[in-house]
Amino acid sequence: MNKYPRTEKYESKIIEENWMGPNPLQLLEELCTNMKLSSGMKVLDMGCGKGLTSIFLAKEFGVTVFANDLWIDPTENLERFRLAGVSDKVFPIHAEAHDLPYAKGFFDAAISIDSYHYYGADEIYFPCTFSKLVKSGGQFGIVCPGLMQEFKKGYPETHKTFWHEDMFSFHSADWWRNLWEKTEIADIITCYNIPDPKAIWYPWAHWSKEHLGFKDVEFLNADTENQITLFAMIAVKK
Footprint of ligand SAM (CB under 6 A): 19-21, 24, 47-49, 53, 69-72, 96-97, 113-115, 118-119
Quick one: 20 or 44, whose CB is closer to ligand SAM?
Answer: 20
Q: How far is the CB of 133 from ligand SAM (least distance, A)?
A: 13
Q: Which amino acid makes up residue 41?
A: M
Q: How far is the CB of 220 from ligand SAM (least distance, A)?
A: 16
Which residue's CB comes closest to ligand SAM? 49
Q: Which residues pair with 141 in a beta bridge?
A: 111, 234
Spatial CB neighbours of 188, under 8 Å, sequence gap ≥ 6: 177, 180, 181, 233, 234, 235
Q: How far is the CB of 84 from ligand SAM (least distance, A)?
A: 15
Quick one: 143 or 191, whose CB is closer to ligand SAM?
Answer: 143
CA distance 60 to 184: 31
What Cα–Cα distance (Å) separates residue 56 from each residue in 20, 118, 151? Answer: 15, 23, 35
Q: How far is the CB of 118 from ligand SAM (least distance, A)?
A: 4
Q: How far is the CB of 115 from ligand SAM (least distance, A)?
A: 3
CA distance 109 to 97: 16
Q: How far is the CB of 96 from ligand SAM (least distance, A)?
A: 4
> What 3 state SS string does 5-54 have?
HHHHCCCHHHHHHHCCCCCHHHHHHHHHCCCCCCCCCEEEEECCCCCHHH
